[in-house]
Chain A
Amino acid sequence: MTAALCAWFTARQWKPFPFQRAVWKHHAAGRQGLIHAATGTGKTYAAWFAALQTPPGDHLRVLWITPLRALATDTLAALRAPVEELGLPWRVEARTGDTSSADRQKQRRRVPNALVTTPESLSVMLSGEKAQDLFRHLDMVVVDEWHEQMGSKRGVQTELALARLRSWAPGLRVWALSATIGNLDEALAVLLGPEVTGGLIVQGHQPKKVVIDSLLPETMDRFPWAGHLGASLLGQVVRELQAVRSALVFTNTRSQAESWYQLLLEACPEFAGDIALHHGSLSREVREWVESALRQGRLRCVVCTSSLDLGVDFTAVERILQIGSPKGIARLLQRAGRSGHQPGATSRATVVPAHAFELVEACAAREYIKLGWLESRIPLEKPLDVLVQHMVTVACGEGFLSESLFREVRGTYAYRHLTWKEWEWALRFVSVGGEALGAYPRFQKLVQDEAGRWLAANAAIVLQHRLNIGTITSDSALQVKFMNGTQLGSIEEYFVAGLKPGQAFVFGGKTLEVVSMKDMTVFVRATAAAKGVVPRWMGSRMAISSLLSTAVRQKLEEASDGTFRGAEMRAVRPVLAMQSQLSVIPRADELLIETLMTREGCHVFLYPFEGLLVHEGLATLLAYRLTKLRPQSITTMASEYGLELFSRDPIAIEEACAEGLFSPVDLDEDIGASVNAAELARRQFREIARVSGLTVQNKPRQERNSRQLQASAGLLYDVLVQYDLANLLVEQARREVLETQLESKRLAGTLARIAESRIVHMSLERGSPLSFPLMVDRLRGSAVSSEMLLDRIRKMQARVEKVAS
């Protein structure tokens, strides 16, 4: 480390941390690996100063891959700061989807020494004809927030890009920056691929103290046992916000964020102008404004979604509130880490439970965080859609020889088990259009030159491909604009379709009404209406993680032993006492099954505590098996904690258990027969079709209005299933459904666990507190309005409380 660089630290009265020095040393010695540290602890400079040790020369030397476009600006500023202050000759620039074509031209004429980019923009650069010239002098790639990229198709895209760069720049060293996850060793292996050895994990400085606590209801008597919004603690949330300078209020969905923003303003009108809203469907301008106001400490509170999970720190933020279930332990910790960046401060996240049992979740999560037990990110195995896209990317640039690109791709972790047969299929898919199209000469995307190199067949293909590089499928969203053209964000088509003319809706914290709709744009104006409907966005539904479920089961076991450790457990004690009075609290090695006969029929509740998705799959499976044993009509409901089977006639659940209801035998067949896996796969195909280029998200301007090529992914899926049996992308859709939507492995694991559990049957007079969320969801399905629903829930709860007392 040169004295000049050290001086920069000294000037700030900083001292390099030992882990930063370690990275500098290792990098200088030609080593690479993963830097593991919490946010705001100097990861960025650990990597950046390693690069600055050698003079930049005239070439591109450092590539900095950030997962979000929005982070690029902040990262660029952070990298430029020491360069400018020390007067170093490094030219540092950014290249993302937001970079203007003038700036891109400039970068082409005068190559920067370091470039901040995203996986998508990197792929676009790889598709350039002179990509090799640009990248062959690279000596460092930094992959920022690797824990966030890994386990997604974008992460796989990054893996493929890294393989490409390694083949061009043999001296390249790759460093990833990662927050804590359960499988750091695997994260390193994925980063470097199976062929690179000697990767290091450098443990960062972990100075920050993290406090996880919960808002405890003042009284448990009127605290709900079910629900998602969490509005019953609104008053307490307002008081907490009044006591801090700046806070982030995290919600689990965009709708919930909109609702909470409204609730806070209604409860405390003087917050107006002092609080803001931030989520992924708001326009970039709005989000950037909120971020910069946060950075300057001008906002007391921002209600947000995972849109603010990542990014450069907001120093002013003192406190995090998490509305509702944190869903995962790592997620809660990550969010907590967004606060407390003032010197000497602690990070603090407070869970605001939406219902009583979320208190148990919060307590369980805190204990696991203390033990350092966090979820793992499971890397993806050879997604062919991403591979197919990469092949076209490479063919748009310098092209490839089949065998050498195959070897290069096999050098990534994701494709280490790729077979030659699968490779050949992918190559046929992008050249002649796949197995079934072998006989169609007109289909040509890639063609071979005399030397056998595969290249894009023409310039139009290159243009269209570059416009569509990436793995993120955007919804068919409509832009929301004011009449003067000011853009507010985007909203899903089906929501707008359901709006009646003149009906008010809430968006971006404003109450609006639709004026007109034209060309995928909804023109709106502000309205004086006091209330409006809150849009829903179809996000992927998140279930609580397997690890958090395990933690919850343990806390319940303690409670069943009469131990209540932690403030939340003590607070929720009356509810748990009622549970054990009316039924029992299941131990970790027990499966509780409650049967309740009502005027409507027979309700059977099971509590595996395995998360929503597993319970949905399990519920359909059990209903299928029960009806196979005895023909009857059974409907199902699922929640994060359990599932309900309902029939008008009695369900002989005890006999069925004895007859192998939970047997692992024929599991796959029964899942296949019970779940509408075909329909799920058809939906899953949307992303695959988009990534593999079957459907086109962005068309070149002159073809934007062409209707000739309009076909939904679902329709293409139907055609391929019928007329192209060997299509591996169809196969991939089926696999993704089993693994991600049905979590079939977790489902099998759950059945295995149940097989070893003691089954406790309870016959109930009234619904137990645990059964409440399920009963409520059933009601929601038939409720006319949300007010009526709340009313009915209240009455039900009052009845149960009366019986218990």
Chain B
Amino acid sequence: MMPGALELELRGQRVVLLAERAAYWRDQEMLWIADMHCGKAATFRSRHVPIPDGSMEADLARLTGVLERTQARRLAILGDWIHAARGCTDEVIETVQAWRESHRHVEMDWIRGNHDRLSESVRSRFGFADSLFLDHAPFRLQHEPGENADRFTIAGHVHPTMMLGGRGFPRVQLPCFHVREQVMVLPAFTSFAGGYPLPPGSGGRVFLIASEEVVEWKAGRG
């Protein structure tokens, strides 16, 4: 078990929720991440919003860290690996290619998300196997968190967060894993993304990422 992480049993499988905003399927040695949004800063710049680089590089470095720590053999990207076509500048693609190259031994699957709308020529430059979803019993890996009849869904897309504080305490918004009956939603991997607070009464279990540690949020105890 890794520091700050928390292990769950999902459909009889051991899944570790990591404070790096990723989940590790221990039985299959497979790492799951969602919503990386590569090239987001470049997208903003192309529309005249002066955002410096650095966040994507930091996110990739964090991903490297998790891959090394878990020694995962496979990586599944649950959609929105890139932010927008116009942010796929040569610099961005080359940075990602170099990163991919340095993890040659890891098998990587890129499930398409709503942000991943690219021409085939651009998509192929990234060098990932790409698909609309992946079936790995008992799980189905996909971008949007819909329920599937016979599979437990692992998804991203909504960037779940939880709003804490208020009543005299400063409010903080923390990324979280949201685990329901049939679906687990991962937090956005990138730190350059806001999130959507889970509405009150969403049900399910909530695992917050609070200062480098995953903790289960038990309503009524805070």
List residues of chain A with CB under 8 Å of any chain B CB.
429, 432-434, 436-437, 440, 442-445, 457, 461, 497-498, 635, 637, 676, 679, 693-696, 708-712, 714-716, 718-720, 722-724, 781
Contact = CB atoms under 8 A, between A and B. Distances in A.
Interface string B78-98: 000001101101000000000
Contact of A445 (B48, B54, B194): B48
Contacts of B170: 676, 679
Contact of A719 (B41, B42, B200): B41
B47 A709 contact: yes
A576 B40 CA distance: 62
A429 to B, nearest CB: 6
Interface in B174-222: 191-194, 199-200
A248 B197 CA distance: 41
Interface of B: 40-55, 58, 83-84, 86-87, 89, 115, 167-168, 170, 191-194, 199-200
Contacts of B58: 722
24 contacts: A432-B50, A433-B45, A436-B52, A445-B48, A457-B48, A637-B168, A693-B49, A694-B49, A695-B49, A708-B43, A708-B47, A708-B86, A708-B115, A709-B44, A711-B40, A711-B193, A715-B192, A715-B193, A718-B192, A719-B54, A719-B192, A722-B55, A722-B58, A781-B168
A712 B194 contact: yes
B48 A461 contact: yes
B53 A781 contact: no
Contacts of A437: 45, 50-52
A88 B44 CA distance: 54
Nearest to A696: B49
A708 B83 contact: yes
A432 B45 CA distance: 10
Contacts of B42: 442
Given A715-B192, A715-B193, A719-B55, A694 B50 contact: yes
Nearest to A498: B200
A715 B48 contact: no
Contacts of A722: 54-55, 58
The 5 closest A-B pairs by CB, nearest first: A433-B50, A723-B54, A436-B52, A723-B52, A443-B45
B43 A781 contact: no
A445 B44 CA distance: 12
Contacts of B167: 781
Contacts of B44: 709, 711
B48 A708 contact: no
Nearest to B58: A722
Contacts of B47: 708-709
Given A434-B50, A722-B55, 8 more contacts: A433-B51, A437-B45, A443-B45, A695-B49, A708-B83, A708-B84, A719-B192, A722-B54
A137 B51 CA distance: 42
A696 B48 CA distance: 11
B43 A719 contact: no
Given A497-B199, A715-B192, A443 B48 contact: yes
A711 B52 contact: no
B220 to A, nearest CB: 14
A684 to B, nearest CB: 14
Contacts of A443: 45-46, 48, 50
Contacts of B54: 719, 722-723
Given A712-B194, A715-B193, A719-B192, A434 B52 contact: yes
B52 A709 contact: no
Nearest to B44: A709
A336 B53 CA distance: 55
Contacts of B55: 719, 722-723
B32 to A, nearest CB: 23
A240 B49 CA distance: 56
A715 B168 CA distance: 23
A693 B41 CA distance: 16
Of listed B49, B58, B193, B199, residue having the most chain A CB within 10 A: B49
A49 to B, nearest CB: 47
A105 to B, nearest CB: 29
A442 B193 CA distance: 22
B45 to A, nearest CB: 4
Contacts of A637: 168
A440 B45 contact: yes
Given A711-B194, A719-B54, A442 B168 contact: no
B165 to A, nearest CB: 10
Contacts of A716: 49, 51
B166 to A, nearest CB: 10
B53 A709 contact: no
Given A679-B170, A708-B83, A711-B194, A720 B48 contact: no
A504 to B, nearest CB: 19
B46 A442 contact: yes
A444 B83 CA distance: 20
A135 to B, nearest CB: 28
A693 B44 CA distance: 12
A442 B89 contact: yes
Contacts of A724: 52
A710 to B, nearest CB: 8
Contacts of B89: 442
A400 B167 CA distance: 50
A633 to B, nearest CB: 13
A716 B47 CA distance: 15
Of listed B51, B86, B193, B200, residue having the most chain A CB within 10 A: B51
A444 B47 CA distance: 9
A718 B52 CA distance: 11
Of listed B87, B115, B192, B193, residue having the most chain A CB within 10 A: B192
A694 B49 CA distance: 6
Contact of A709 (B49, B50, B168, B193): B49
Contacts of A715: 192-194
A675 to B, nearest CB: 10
A768 to B, nearest CB: 23
A715 B222 CA distance: 26
B53 A723 contact: yes
A714 B199 CA distance: 21
B52 A444 contact: no
A429 B50 contact: yes
Contacts of A440: 45
A719 B52 contact: yes
Contacts of A497: 199
Contacts of B45: 433, 437, 440, 442-443
Nearest to A637: B168
Of listed A440, A442, A724, residue having the most chain B CB within 10 A: A440
B118 to A, nearest CB: 13
